[in-house]
Amino acid sequence: MSRRLRWLALSLAGLVALCIAIIGSFAQAERSVPWKIAVTAQPIEAFMRSEPELKRFGLLEFRGGLSLSSNESHFGGISGIRFEADGDRFLAITDRGFWLRGTLKSESGRPVAMADVEMAPMLAAGGGAITARGWYDTESLAVDGGLVYVGVERVDRILRFDFGASGVLAPGQPINVPAAMRTIPKNQGIEGMVFVPKGQPLGGTLIALSERGLDAAGNTRGFLIGGSSRGEFAIRRAADFDITDAALIPGGDLLILERHFSWRSGIGMRIRRIPLAAIKPGALVDGPVLIEAGNSHQIDNMEGLAAQRTAAGETIITIVSDDNFNPLQRTILLRFALVDE
Distance between CA atoms of residues 127 and 79, nearest Å: 24
Percent of the chain with pLDDT over 70: 90
pLDDT reported for residue 251: 77
DSSP string, 219-260: PEEEEEESSSS-EEEEE---TT-EEEEEEEPTTS-EEEEEEE
| Other residues' Cβ atoms within 10 Å of the Cβ of residue 10 | 17
What would the pLDDT profile of 125-135 be if each residue is shown by its tens digit?
A: 998 999 999 99
Burial class (CB in 10 A: 0-12, 13-18, 19+), 27: exposed
Burial class (CB in 10 A: 0-12, 13-18, 19+), 309: middle
pLDDT reported for residue 6: 47
pLDDT band at 265 (very low <50, low <70, confident <90, very high): confident
pLDDT reported for residue 32: 62
Residue 49: pLDDT over 80: yes
DSSP class of residue 67 equals E
pLDDT reported for residue 7: 45
User: Residue-wise over 123-154: b if at least 16 C-beta within 10 A, else e?
Assistant: bbeeeebbbbbebbbbbbbbbbeebbbbbbbb
Q: Using an 8 Å Cβ cutoff, are 221 and 184 in contact?
A: yes
What would the pLDDT profile of 75-131 be if each residue is shown by its tens digit?
A: 999 999 999 987 899 999 999 999 999 999 999 999 999 999 999 999 999 989 999
Q: Using an 8 Å Cβ cutoff, are 212 and 188 in contact?
A: yes
Q: How many domains does the chain have?
A: 1
> pLDDT: is 246 or 341 the higher one?
246
pLDDT reported for residue 14: 52
Least confident span in 24-33, 258-267, 275-284? 24-33
Percent of the chain with pLDDT over 90: 81
Distance between CA atoms of residues 214 and 201, nearest Å: 25
Q: Using an 8 Å Cβ cutoff, are 242 and 212 in contact?
A: yes
Provide the whole-model pTM.
Answer: 0.90
Q: What is the mean pLDDT of residues 243-265?
A: 93
Q: Using an 8 Å Cβ cutoff, are 48 and 57 in contact?
A: yes
Q: What is the mean pLDDT of residues 168-177?
A: 97
Residue 16: pLDDT over 50: no
Distance between CA atoms of residues 321 and 77, nearest Å: 7
SS3 category, 25:
helix
Instruction: Name which of 249, 258, 282, 273 is nearest 192 in CA terms.
Output: 258
Host domain of residue 173: 3-338
CATH code of residue 105 = 2.115.10
Residue 220 has φ and ψ, to the nearest 5°, of: -80, 130
Q: What is the mean pLDDT of residues 296-323?
A: 95
pLDDT band at 208 (very low <50, low <70, confident <90, very high): very high
